[in-house]
Amino acid sequence: MSRTAVAFSPVMPVISLPMFMAEDIDRFSAAEVRQAICAWVGESRMDMADALVAAGLAMYPDSQDILVMGALVAEVNQDWAQAQDCLERLVTVQGDAVSAEVLHHLVRVLRCRGAYFNAFIHAEKAILRFSQHLGLIQAHTELAELLESVPVHVAPEAQVS
């Protein structure tokens, strides 16, 4: 098994990316693991990318590199629970430095999970920080319209005897 993959492009120089198996992870940095995940995705080997994400999250649970790749691979696989977990952990790790794009991905993932109210709340908070982000504005608007169109069922109060 080759340890590197060579990407060819008519415009860009040849780049060598590390490609290794999950059992080799302890010999590589979080940044190298991220690059290997990218290489496996580029080879359409989502099974290998998934394995590296799992190993990377175990080895580097607070690595922004691994959390970002974990979220993206999970989104490609439509594993919304995994994507949400990675994004929520990433928000915690980044703290006040969290980007609008991370928050936008979180809102989209929550929406894909059918957690419309939570997605709306996250979008609303994100817009307070990133008022010019078009994706967040659009998501917030769409979620507000969606929530307005949902009928609310109120159960009658139980009678107290």
Q: 64, 39, 62, 63: which is closest to 49 by C-alpha?
A: 39
Q: Please compute the mean of the pLDDT values over residues 126-144 and round it to a whole number.
A: 96
Q: Please compute the mean of the pLDDT values over residues 108-114 and round it to a whole number.
A: 96
Q: 74, 112, 70, 111: which is closest to 89 by C-alpha?
A: 70
Name, in order, each residue with C-beta under 8 angstroms of 40's C-beta and a sequence gap of 6 or more: 19, 46, 48, 49, 52
Torsion of CA 48, 49, 54, 56, to 10 degrees: 110
Give the pLDDT band (50/70/90) at residue 3: very low
Give the pLDDT band (50/70/90) at residue 149: confident
Name, in order, each residue with C-beta under 8 angstroms of 29's C-beta and a sequence gap of 6 or more: none
